[in-house]
Amino acid sequence: AAYMAAGQPELGLDAGRRMVACDPLASISWMILGAARWFVGRPEEAVPDLEHGLELDPHNLLVHWAAGYTYATVGRLADAARHATFLHENAPDNPYGWQLLSLVEGLEGRQDAALERLRNIDLTPRDPHNIFHLSESFAMAGDTHRALEVLEMAVDQGFYPYPFINEYCPFMAPLRSLPEFAGILEKARVK
């Protein structure tokens, strides 16, 4: 995961493969391998990895989040919503669950609901990975100003997967043409 956060996706993919080889019965190994595929622009290849991770541990919240996020990334919103609902029902205070719910709402065209869900989120205790994904939620909810602020916070705090932000993440699309985005992207590239 650290390789991916630092913008070294091929090393992250190799680490994911090694995790699965070393511990094929750990759902987290399959989740890391699946997530690594996002960062090299192949999210559709993550689906079988994440589904296998859920077969191994059907109640793992992080694997549910990763599966939901992957489904959102490839446009399977009903599947993404199913995982968001699971997270909300089983861990209503989980920050990744809130992120996934708001992302799905934004993608479904329910920007007001997404913004309402995001309105009271305190970013202070969040890790930079979660902060990055919240920037995606703000972008899909139509609040590009806040999305840029939150994205810059994630980059400044240590999550700067340059190739993913620049090219592969579909949820950055509303931001890519904005001049502020170029500055944030340059920070990520330098780091």
pLDDT for residue 83: 98
Residue 116 has pLDDT above 70, yes or no: yes
> Is residue 69 a contact partner of residue 87, using CB atoms and an 8 Å limit?
no
> Is residue 112 a contact partner of residue 102, using CB atoms and an 8 Å limit?
no
> Is residue 133 a contact partner of residue 103, using CB atoms and an 8 Å limit?
yes
The token pair at 190 is: 């330098």
The larger pLDDT score, comparing residue 34 to residue 101, is at 101
pLDDT for residue 44: 96
Give the pLDDT band of residue 120 (cuts 50, 70, 90): confident
Residue 79 has pLDDT above 90, yes or no: yes
- Cα(76)–Cα(66) distance, integer angstroms: 13
Give the pLDDT band of residue 17 (cuts 50, 70, 90): confident
Lowest mean pLDDT across 106-115, 122-131, 134-143: 122-131
pLDDT for residue 77: 98
Summarised one tens digit per residue, pLDDT across range 22-47 is 888 888 899 989 888 888 899 999 99
- Name the percent of the chain lying above pLDDT 90: 74
Residue 141 has pLDDT above 80, yes or no: yes
pLDDT for residue 7: 61
What does the DSSP 8-state code read for residue 180?
Answer: H
pLDDT for residue 2: 62
Where does 58-178 have alpha helices with state H?
Answer: 61-73, 77-90, 95-107, 111-119, 128-140, 144-157, 162-163
Element (H, E) at 158: none
pLDDT for residue 1: 59
